Amino acid sequence: MTDITQHTAARPRADFLHRFSVRDAGTLIGLVVILVVFGALVPGFFAERNLINILQQSSINACLALGMTLVIISGGIDLSVGPTAALSAVISASMLVAGVPFPLAIAAGFAVGLVCGLLNGVLVAYVGLQPFIVTLGTLSTYRALALIYTGGNPVLGLPAGFRAIFNGSLFGLPLAVIIVAVVALIAWIILKKTPFGEYLLAVGGNEEAAYIAGVPIARTKIAAYMISGLLAALAAQILIGRLGAAEPILGNLWELDAIAAAAIGGASLMGGKGSVVGTILGAVILGSMRNGLTLMNVQSFYQLLATGLIILAAMLIDRVTRGRG
């Protein structure tokens, strides 16, 4: 303790930079390295069309990962995002097929996400169960509900008008990408500029101290899970818009990609630490890698291997650069 104090006192400037941007810069460098490598190996990787493709392919994971980042910062985890998305998707989809107006069907899907998140949050914050176990339980529960509701069958034949909403583009960018970019901006503002953001960081950083300082612990945690649920529902809408159908098994293992993106971006599973910019970069890193490997016709087994190695490499670099002193 003593030595750390002295150690850093001599270079407050470096310390300041370290706190605020070096971690994000590191993630950015990681992304650039990956882009350069694939650019060299894969002809046409840097084509505008392919770059847009990467963004589009990353958008759903980025959307989930933003919610996941807030939950992780609060000291929790949300394993139930995939099934939440599936439940939201099948309910919206069946309403759409039944001829319910688009806004109402979409709103119903969002409401499902919020309710799923609320349940997670209440079990964590008021009942005091561990987030990992709570969301492991709701992971199965929500998935089961989606399967029971649909009898295990996909909901097919979504109206073309609905599909057009999420498949459109603006300024040459797919609408899904723009939506997620807006969500990211909002998440950034929440984390950096609002009391809720401060509360998230405090609750995850030291819950007991936050309590004594008058932070509304339960409300903060519940809000984080509700946002995560809402963003899972948004991801679901984007996906069923793209596919034109909603499967009750959609979103399988989404939680793992979302956690990976957040962790690559610098979120600490211990809570109290995480970055919106980092998470977005993390999602794009994962997306670029998959895109590049697919273009190189690499078997999916190896893609899985590459994903695993990227996560481990990111964590090792994190450890080595931060572990001193």
Partner 1 sequence: MSARLQFEGISKEFPAVRALSDVSFSVGAGEIHGLLGENGAGKSTLLRILSGVYRPTAGSVLIDGKPVTLNTPVAARAAGVAMIHQELQQVPRLSVAQNMFLGHPLTRGGVFVARREQERRAAEALAAIDPTIDPAAPLGSLKVAQRQIVEIARALLDRARIVAMDEPTSSLTPSEFERLAEVIAGLARDGVAVVYVSHKLDEVFGICERATVMRDGVVVETVDLAQVSEKAVVSMMVGRELAQEQHRSHASPEIRLSVRGLASATKVRDVSFDLHRGEVLGVAGLVGSGRTELLRLLAGADRTSSGTMEIDGKAVKLSSPRDAIAAGIALVPEERKREGIVPLRSISSNMALASMGVFAPRGVIDHKRLKRVAAEKMKRVNLRPFLLDRPIRLFSGGNQQKAIIGRWLAAGTRILLFDEPTRGIDVGAKAEIYHLIEELAAEGHSVIVVSSELPEVIRLADRVLVMRDGTVAAELGRASLSEHAIAAHAIPQTEIETGKAQGHRAGA
For partner 1, the binding residues (CB under 8 A) are 1-12, 15-16, 19, 189, 193-195, 198-199, 201-202, 205-206, 208-216, 272-273, 325
Cα dihedral sign, 88-93-99-104: positive
Q: How far apart are CA 204 and CA 269, in angstroms?
A: 9
Least distance from partner 1 to the Cβ atom of residue 2, Å: 4
Alpha-carbon torsion angle 47, 48, 53, 56, nearest 10: 150
Least distance from partner 1 to the Cβ atom of residue 304, Å: 33
248/272 with CB nearer partner 1: 272
12/161 with CB nearer partner 1: 12
Least distance from partner 1 to the Cβ atom of residue 79, Å: 24
CB 305: neighbour CB atoms within 10 A?
13
Give the DSSP H/E element, type plus range, for residue 169.
Answer: strand 169-170
Least distance from partner 1 to the Cβ atom of residue 134, Å: 23
The SS3 assignment for 126 reads: coil
Question: Residue 121: which of 195, 220, 211 has the closest Cα?
Answer: 220
Least distance from partner 1 to the Cβ atom of residue 127, Å: 18
172/325 with CB nearer partner 1: 325
7/170 with CB nearer partner 1: 7
46/211 with CB nearer partner 1: 211
Least distance from partner 1 to the Cβ atom of residue 269, Å: 14
Least distance from partner 1 to the Cβ atom of residue 63, Å: 23
105/124 with CB nearer partner 1: 124
CA-to-CA dists, residue 172 to 51, 61, 166, 235, 281, angstroms: 12, 21, 14, 21, 21
Least distance from partner 1 to the Cβ atom of residue 23, Å: 12
53/206 with CB nearer partner 1: 206
Based on the number of CB atoms within 10 Å of its own CB, is 1 exposed (0-12), middle (13-18) or buried (19 or more)? exposed
7/305 with CB nearer partner 1: 7
Question: Residue 283: which of 170, 187, 142, 165 has the closest Cα?
Answer: 187
Concatenate the DSSP letters of all residues of 181-225 into one string.
Answer: HHHHHHHHHHHHHSHHHHHHHHHHH-HHHHHHTT--HHHHHHHHH
Q: How far apart are CA 281 and CA 265, in angstroms?
A: 7
Q: How far apart are CA 66 and CA 69, in angstroms?
A: 5
